[in-house]
Amino acid sequence: MHELGIAENILQIVRQSVPENLAGDVRAIRLRVGQLSGIVPDSLSFCFGVIANETAMKQASLAIEQVPIVSKCRDCRHQFQMDDFAFSCPACQSVQLDLISGRELEVVEIELAEEEDKVP
């Protein structure tokens, strides 16, 4: 349960990426969060809301894309999504697997409101 620390890291990355005078225009921060990242999306969104509320980014929220665990078998080249953490190839039972996705914890993009989006 370290979502608060992760939320602080996200806020810092956004601060470094958006000019200060536009911070109030940040509406959404798109994240990619892998199923192996150890992050609970709801908890992260909650923590982010709490700390963003103390800043100019009051109207910002997280848009989290959850990334499934995908592996590729080194023996038969079969690529498959893993739903039950059974780390063996469903086609040939090999355990020689390369993890293709699932560890992501990335800020992808930031959406800013433009003049016409703003509530007067």
Partner 1 sequence: MSVITIERKVLEKNEQLAQNNREVFSRHGILALNFVSSPGAGKTTILERTFQELRGSMKIAVIEGDVQTDLDAQRVAKYGVSVVQIVTLGGCHLDAKLVQDAMANLELKGLDLLFIENVGNLVCPANYDLGEALKVVVLSTTEGDDKPLKYPAMFLNSSILIINKIDLIPYLRCDLNVLKNNALQINPALRVFEVSCFTGAGIPEWCDWLRKKDPSGL
Which is nearer to partner 1, 9 or 53 (by Cβ)?
9
Determine if 76 is a binding residue for partner 1 (CB under 8 A): no
Stretch that binds partner 1, among 1-9, 48-56, 59-67, 72-80 (CB under 8 A): 1-9
Hey, what are 12's tokens?
């810092």
Does position 38 interact with partner 1 (CB under 8 A)? The reply is yes
Q: Is 70 in the site for partner 1 (CB under 8 A)?
A: no
Tokens of 87: 């780390």
Candidate segments 13-21, 50-58, 59-67, 73-81, binder of partner 1 by CB under 8 A: 13-21
Q: Does 2 bind partner 1 (CB under 8 A)?
A: yes
Q: Which residues bind partner 1 (CB under 8 A)?
A: 1-2, 5-6, 9-10, 13, 17-18, 27, 31, 36-38, 85-88, 95, 105-114, 117
